[in-house]
Amino acid sequence: MKIGLVQMVSTAQVATNLVVADRLVREAAAQGAELVVLPENFGLLGHNESDKVRVAEPAGGGPMQEMLATVAATAGVWVVGGTVPLQSDEPDRVTNSCLVYSPQGRMVCRYDKIHLFVLDNESGRFDESRTVAPGHSPAWFDLPASDGHVWRVGLSVCYDLRFPELYRALAVAGADLLLVPSAFTHGTGEKHWDVLLRARAIENLAWVGAPAQGGLHENGRRTWGHSLVVDPWGEVVARLPVGEGVIVMQMDAGQTRRRRAELPALGHRVL
């Protein structure tokens, strides 16, 4: 199966970002991708954390969700909308939700980001919990690909990457592809991005696809970029350093089976 990862440098204007996201999804589809994944906050990277509350959409409706459904159906691909801010039960907080659309334009899976980012150092101050309500459950979906394999795709978002127990739960549930749409800060990305993604692939003998925000945003924030595809042996097989664009990469389901047979570590768990 070919996967397409979309890297963006999102702005504070939803309409502008949706035009870019639509174009890049179609570009990946034109290169043969069956599954196209957008980064975290593809629809908005605002001037303030509260901006996401202002543009939050009700589940099932709104410009961001409508774009995802339309491009999936018209391009005939599976689309994962990295994250969309959805209204929660709390008026001052949203869920940071990863939404999956089938090639028929139907929303088939939703994952609400569980682990909320907190950082206070030279890279900046962040406390996602001030405006985001956490999710509580892992999520995955099955994708019957043209290669004859039904890929089980596990969902996660950005800061989740630091919590290996989530990925182990996805692997135990049968996931052979783990997605990590992200908006890593430049400072943490430079030190930790590659090693964490490679570790999650190695630990779970699974493919990892991580589309990212990558560049200097109009709000002054600088994101790391370096969207990656990592194979089940931990090798980085595709990378887009900075700036908007797409990666399209062929993934081999047989490689996952071979590696798990060679090194049956998942069956050796004790805890």
Question: How do residues 66-96 score in pLDDT, each as one tens digit?
Answer: 999 999 999 999 999 999 999 999 999 999 9
- Overall domain count for the chain: 1
Q: What is the mean pLDDT of residues 242-254?
A: 97
**pTM (predicted TM-score):** 0.97
> Of the residues 57, 113, 128, 244, which is catalytic?
113
**DSSP helix/strand/coil, 35:** strand
- What confidence tens digit (pLDDT) does each residue in 23-82 have? 999 999 999 999 999 999 999 999 988 899 999 999 999 999 999 999 999 999 999 999
Give the integer Cα–Cα distance in Å for 233 and 267: 17
Active site residue 158: yes
pLDDT of 124 above 70: no
3-state secondary structure 245-266: EEEEEECCHHHHHHHHHHCCHH
Active site residue 40: yes
pLDDT of 123 above 80: no
Q: What is the pLDDT of residue 125?
A: 78
Q: What secondary structure does DSSP assign to 12-34, as a single string?
A: S-HHHHHHHHHHHHHHHHHTT-S
Q: What is the mean pLDDT of residues 141-162?
A: 98
Give strand pairing partners of 249: 3
Give the integer Cα–Cα distance in Å for 97 and 54: 16
Q: What is the pLDDT of residue 49?
A: 87
Written as six digits, the tokens of 40 are 């975290």
Q: What is the mean pLDDT of the chain?
A: 96
Active site residue 98: no
Q: What is the pLDDT of residue 119?
A: 83
CATH value at residue 194: 3.60.110.10
- Parallel, antiparallel, or unpaired for β 177-179 and 35-37? unpaired
> Of the residues 52, 57, 98, 158, which is catalytic?
158
pLDDT of 202 above 70: yes
Burial 108-128 (b: 16+ CB within 10 A, else e): ebbbbbbbbbeeeeebeebeb
Task: Give every CB contact of residue 227 below 8 A, 6+ residues apart in sequence.
Answer: 5, 6, 7, 39, 210, 211, 212, 214, 239, 240, 247
- Spatial contact of 201 and 207, defined as CB atoms under 8 Å apart: yes
- Domain ranges, residue 97: 2-268
> Of the residues 2, 34, 40, 98, which is catalytic?
40
